[in-house]
A and B are shown apart, each in its own frame.
Chain A
Amino acid sequence: MSKINKQDIDKVALLSRLSFTDAEAEKFAGQLSQILEYAEKLNELDTEGVEPTSHCLNLTNVMREDIPQASLTAEQALANAPDAEDQCFKVPPIIQESG
């Protein structure tokens, strides 16, 4: 039985800001199921009491003095913008007017 169904794909696609045709969704469901089944292998191991490793360097709270430093100008920051206006990034409506 497939671990991932069409509903799962729709839910994860929404979280991922992606969307798929039915054919794509079916292909992804198959591939994801296969990979997750392979990942089940990890359940052969007892990891009770094992600390997780999210990172291999023992560095914590790397800070610098809070002093202003050189940074990009507004023009540089906007140079790659798909759309810009008045030194701002311009995007489609975020909040729609209601009724």
Chain B
Amino acid sequence: MTESSSACSTGEIHDLTVAGIAEALAKGDVSSREVTQAFLTRIESVEPDVRAFLTVTADVALGMADEADRRLAAGERGPLLGVPVGLKDLICTEGTRTTGGSKILNNYIPPYDATVARRLREAGAVFVGKLNMDEFAMGSSCENSGYYPTHNPWDLERIPGGSSGGSVAAVAARECPASLGSDTGGSIKLPAALCGVVGIRPTYGRVSRYGILAFASSLDQIGPVTRDVRDAAVMMNAICGHDPKDSTSAPVDVPDFTAALGRDGSDIKGLKIGIPKEYFLQGEEGRGGMDPEVEAAVRKAADALVGLGAELVDISLPHTQYGVATYYLVCTAEASSNLARYDGAHYGHRATGASDIIDMFTRSRNEGFGAEVKLRIMLGTYALSAGFYDAYYMKALKVRTLLKRDFDVAFEKVDLILTPTSPTPAFKLGEKADDPLQMYLTDIFTISPNLAGLGGMSVPCGFTSETNLPIGLQLIPPAFGEETMLRVAHAYEQTQTWCERAPKL
């Protein structure tokens, strides 16, 4: 491979990025079958340690690879044609088991593709498997999977972050060069930061949610995980766009995101980048308190952007401290409604021995759902119930308006906002498992922009010195402003070499 093919490619086939693979396929250096086989071999070798996959679809993958090879032989070219990808296991895939990380869907085989799966299929991507996650995307560590936790490839005793833990761990461990995750309160951005990969949450409405197992419908959004910014733009091109099958899909034009990257850092000259003071506070003990190395790495990245001609502007997002409370009332209310569908009647787990239908519903849900899902259904049902609706749910919706206004005001002054993605690097498995509130506060920096409907991304910006754990920075653009975000991320990426590091597995 030539150096220009990709910022982050070295060595073996499984070390190639999406762009590197597409180039090798286009030249005829390798076939999609060979590439796919190389990743399946990699999966076999590291998966006992990482456990990023719930289902590896080797036969499906090789069939799709052969089809891609036929299209390549016929002269067709495409940035994802013949490239292996993994999908978070809440994206419905026709004929391949889709569990949402839940035992209640242990045997569910969707009769149709989610729109994002269909779009990737049409682009010629090769599906290597379905990726682990917190059950129904409820969690920040991937420990709430109904099956088993995923391990952080940089330190196997630590969590990869969640809920898209499998999606980020698989890319970090080079089990696939790209994947899709979903982000409700930070479920792509947070784990991407903790595993040292690029993760994008598109603006709400940018990507179809048709065929996605719903958690909180006003927040859920599908997005890509890759090793560098260019690959993320390639994936965005493939998955974004209006979908008549999703009534909340935004009827807006989709730009060519790879064209938005620009050539070099000079493209960001004069851009105003907001630094919100509330994201750099030393929090109360254990509650959002920032690791000094994280703060230093993020400030250094901001300085690098100044070196490229951007201007840093101090801003305030005054309602930030109310984000987590607002989020956990809104998302649980929506979840309690969305998850009412899992009743054992039409698909999924059904308990045996029920005396009547209510008993069947209750037993099936009791057996099928894990503790965190039950807790959130209970919280959401309580917040929506008669007598408490105004005090909790309606109050949260009003505070959501205030949080959104914070961003509206900020974007009158700046083009983009820069923050840490997570206040700390990855914590150890089990460390927060019995304390839901501490776990919820993990998402403190990713939640507020999500409540405002905004997109964002996490970009690697360093490593801790002693523990060698990845650190990520979060970029937040105005609604549908992903091009600016990608341009800045790409410009920053050119100034450093973080993405060349690989975990030792």
Stretch at the interface among B130-138, B273-281, B344-352: B344-352
Q: List B349-389 residues whose CB lies under 8 Å from chain A.
A: 349-350, 354-362, 365-366, 369, 374-375, 377-379, 381-382, 385
Among B111, B324, B377, B382, max chain A CB count under 10 A is at B382
Q: Is B46 on the interface with A (CB-CB < 8 A)? A: no
A39 vs B348: C-alpha distance in the bound complex, in angstroms?
33
Q: Is B218 on the interface with A (CB-CB < 8 A)? A: yes
Would A42 and B395 be within 8 Å (CB), given that A16-B378, A32-B378, A35-B328 are in contact? yes
Provide the B58-76 mask, 1 if CB < 8 A to any CB of A, else 0.
0000000000000000000
Q: Is the CB of B395 within 8 A of A13?
A: no
- CB of A61 to closest CB in B, whole Å: 9
Q: List B162-197 residues whose CB lies under 8 Å from chain A.
A: none
Q: Is B260 on the interface with A (CB-CB < 8 A)? A: no
Secondary structure of the B contact surface, majority rule? helix
Shortest Cβ distance from B246 into A: residue: A62
Q: Is the CB of A93 within 8 A of B453?
A: no
Would A41 and B347 be within 8 Å (CB), given that A15-B385, A56-B218 are in contact? no
Shortest Cβ distance from B111 into A: residue: A76
Q: Is the CB of B378 within 8 A of A39?
A: no
Q: List B307-358 residues whose CB lies under 8 Å from chain A.
A: 319, 321-322, 324-326, 328-329, 336, 340, 343-350, 354-358
Q: List A24-79 residues whose CB lies under 8 Å from chain B.
A: 28, 31-32, 34-36, 38-39, 41-45, 47, 50-57, 59, 62, 64, 72, 76-77, 79
With a CB–CB cut-off of 8 A, which chain B residues contact A12? 378, 381-382, 385
Q: Is the CB of A57 within 8 A of B453?
A: yes
With a CB–CB cut-off of 8 A, which chain A residues contact B324? 38
With a CB–CB cut-off of 8 A, which chain A residues contact B400? 52-53
- CB of A25 to closest CB in B, whole Å: 10
Q: Is the CB of B322 within 8 A of A41?
A: yes
Partner of A93, one of B336, B356, B366, B452: B356
Q: Is the CB of A54 within 8 A of B374?
A: no
Partner of A57, one of B205, B356, B397: B205
Partner of B355, one of A47, A79, A92: A92
Secondary structure of the A contact surface, majority rule? loop
With a CB–CB cut-off of 8 A, which chain A residues contact B205? 56-57, 59
Q: Is A2 on the interface with B (CB-CB < 8 A)? A: no
A19 vs B247: C-alpha distance in the bound complex, in angstroms?
34
- CB of A84 to closest CB in B, whole Å: 10
- CB of A39 to closest CB in B, whole Å: 5
Q: Is the CB of B354 within 8 A of A52?
A: no
Binding site for A on B (CB under 8 A): 107-109, 111-112, 204-205, 218, 244, 247-248, 250, 319, 321-322, 324-326, 328-329, 336, 340, 343-350, 354-362, 365-366, 369, 374-375, 377-379, 381-382, 385, 392, 394-402, 404, 436-437, 440, 452-453, 479
Add 20 more A-B contacts to A12-B381, A28-B378, A62-B247 (CB < 8 A): A12-B382, A15-B385, A16-B377, A18-B366, A18-B369, A31-B436, A32-B379, A35-B436, A36-B379, A41-B325, A52-B394, A53-B401, A55-B248, A56-B205, A77-B111, A79-B111, A80-B346, A82-B347, A91-B345, A96-B356
